[in-house]
Amino acid sequence: MNENRENRNAPPPSDEELSRRLREKRVNSFSLNIAEDDFAAPEEAEESASISSYSDPSVAKAQTAQATRSEKQAKKRAAKAHKARNKQKRKANQRFFRVAWLVMAVLLSLVAARYAVDGINDMLATGREAVKVTVDLPVDPTNEEVAEILKEKGVIQEKSFFQLYARFTNSSEYYSNGTFELDTSMDYQAIINALQRTSNRLDTVKVMIPEGTSVMQLAALLEENGVCSANDFLEACNTTELDESYDVLSYIEDRGERYYHLEGYLFPDTYEFYQNDDVMNVLMKLVNNCGKKLLTDEMQEQFEASSLTADEVITLASIIQMEAANTEDMYMVSSVLHNRLENGSLYDIYTLDCDSTTYYPYWKRDEIPESERDSFVSSYNTYNNRGLPPGPICNPGLDAIQAALNPESTNYYYFCHDADGNAYYASTAAEHEQNLVEAGLR
């Protein structure tokens, strides 16, 4: 009773106290009958933990943190295991590729060694029998083309090795076109030397250039014999590139109206040219021969003794070459022309009046292109122009040059020839008119 009274007199418990008492009562009155066999079962343990977590928030929070840590550790262990596996794979791959590279290196070394051995043997012509082979090279052949041709002809066996050798020896850009005879026992250097010397060519052609042949006629003759293009030759005959190399070309006087710079200095003779030759090689051969003929001591003395310059002598000789019927007549025609040049004005004769100069560089009117024929006027025409023409009208021979240097001593100022080549000479115009009638020219 006293106790109850005290309780009644005591202040009412707080909310916190009531909550605590309620929780104690629940705990004291809570009991479970759990078999020992089931106690360790994972599902019940989880259920117990769940019940505990619901019954205590702090426990649930701790369990969540623990689960998170476990998950992180599991991920770390998985990542570590994955890394270890990758490392193991990389090591295995590295070993594989090392072995593969080693095998490839060995194979490449063997192939390279084989290539080198075969190439060197081919370069030195080791074991090849001596067989004569004819090889044709095109104009401006490439290193690859030469190697291909040599391989096809059996001169070499290793085409690519030959190309490498030619490049390393700076020989790949200096081959000559033409036909060559090679020996299959020749080494690479001997082959290259043979192909780069035009003196070894077999495709030669002999061309006889008659005295009095003009540049235009010579161009056609060379093209006809397969030596070079006529157009290329005509174009090259106006070059001055050879002037400093050949002393004989120092004779040329540039009067500004020459049709062809080298006309008169391409000496007529029999030559051996290469087919499809370089046009400059052709010109050099012609000019070089001219120098040999005209630069002798004897010829030099005669040029110096003449009242004409060397170029004027060549020009006069070219007219004599075209006007005279034979060698003897050359000296008489030379006399007539010298008399007109030196004393013609005394007899009102101021021009040479030579038919051979009328249409130069053409010989006949019909040879002039039709589009120019009616209006064409040659600056070499000695009927219209006084004195000698600007340059030679053809390439004279030695006889005509000697006649120009050593004319007969006469008083003739006129000449003509009949159809049979018989010559008629006259001192006056009246005599000349009679000769023309006799010769059947009137």
- In tens, the pLDDT along 362-396 reads 999 999 999 999 999 999 999 999 999 999 999 99
pLDDT, the chain, mean: 86
CATH topology of domain 132-200: Dna Ligase; domain 1 (3.30.1490)
Helix (H) or strand (E) holding 99: helix 57-123
3-class secondary structure, 386: coil
pLDDT tens profile 255-302: 778 999 999 999 999 999 999 999 999 999 999 999 999 999 999 999
pLDDT of res. 15: 63
Whole-angstrom CA distances from 280 to 118, 253, 277, 284 are 41, 22, 8, 6
Instruction: Give every CB contact of residue 268 below 8 A, 6+ residues apart in sequence.
Output: 209, 210, 211, 212, 213, 395, 396, 397
pLDDT of res. 57: 65
pLDDT of res. 116: 66
Compute φ and ψ for 136, nearest 5 degrees: -110, 120
The residue ranges of every structural domain in the chain are: 132-200, 208-410
Q: Which amino acid type is present at position 71?
A: E
Mean pLDDT of 137-141: 88
pLDDT of res. 108: 67
pLDDT of res. 23: 67
pTM of the predicted structure, to 2 decimals: 0.69
Separation of alpha carbons 201 and 235, rounded Å? 26
Query: What band does 253 get if pLDDT is binned at 50, 70 and 90?
Result: very high
Instruction: Give every CB contact of residue 23 below 8 A, 6+ residues apart in sequence.
Output: none
Nearest alpha carbon to residue 269 among 209, 206, 318, 207: 209
Query: What band does 109 get if pLDDT is binned at 50, 70 and 90?
Result: low
